[in-house]
């Protein structure tokens, strides 16, 4: 793993949360994006080499809506950048980690992503991400 690529934060309302994070981080949101497959709208902020991703559910039954219902708004996942997502998935599976998807899937910000089950990572949802090569 190369670095922390971003930290995902679940929010109820992007329109309310974006100004708060712009003030907190002293930087504007540089991108918003709908990710239909995950039923979310995202907003990204850059702080040095790391990004903060706000996630708002677009479906009351979506993963983020269910997360907020159980735990409230807050940190949802930590994403690590990898150079070869498939190799890293195989390595982690061989180490005993449970992957939440068998193959990398399209994610926000032009990434391929895979999540690790939080039961195997001390309750932290971990995302692997790699820049998509178009």
pLDDT value at 127 more than 90? yes
| Distances in whole angstroms, Cα of residue 83 to Cα of each of 22, 90, 115 | 30, 13, 16
Cβ atoms 121, 80 nearer than 8 A: no
Query: Model pTM?
Result: 0.93
pLDDT digits (tens, 9 = 90+) for 21-35: 999 999 999 999 999
Confidence at residue 133, expressed as pLDDT on a 0 to 100 scale: 83
Distance of CA 28 to the CA centre of its chain: 19
Cα-only R_g, the chain: 14
Distance CA 81, CA 85 (A): 9
Cβ atoms 22, 28 nearer than 8 A: yes
**Reported confidence tier of residue 7, pLDDT bands at 50, 70, 90:** very high
pLDDT digits (tens, 9 = 90+) for 74-111: 999 999 999 999 999 999 999 999 999 999 999 999 99
């Amino acid at each position: 793993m190369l670095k922390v690529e971003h930290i995902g934060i679940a929010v109820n309302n992007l329109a309310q949360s974006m100004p708060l994070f712009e003030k907190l981080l002293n930087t504007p949101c540089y991108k918003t994006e709908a990710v239909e497959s995950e039923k979310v709208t995202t907003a990204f902020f850059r702080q040095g080499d790391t990004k903060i991703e706000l996630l708002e559910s677009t479906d009351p039954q979506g993963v983020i809506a269910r997360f907020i219902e159980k735990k409230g708004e807050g940190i949802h996942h930590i994403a690590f950048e990898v150079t070869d997502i498939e190799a890293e998935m195989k390595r982690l599976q061989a180490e005993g980690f449970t992957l939440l998807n068998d193959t990398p899937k399209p994610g926000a910000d032009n990434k391929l992503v895979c999540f690790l089950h939080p039961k195997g990572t001390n309750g932290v949802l971990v995302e692997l991400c790699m820049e998509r090569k178009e």
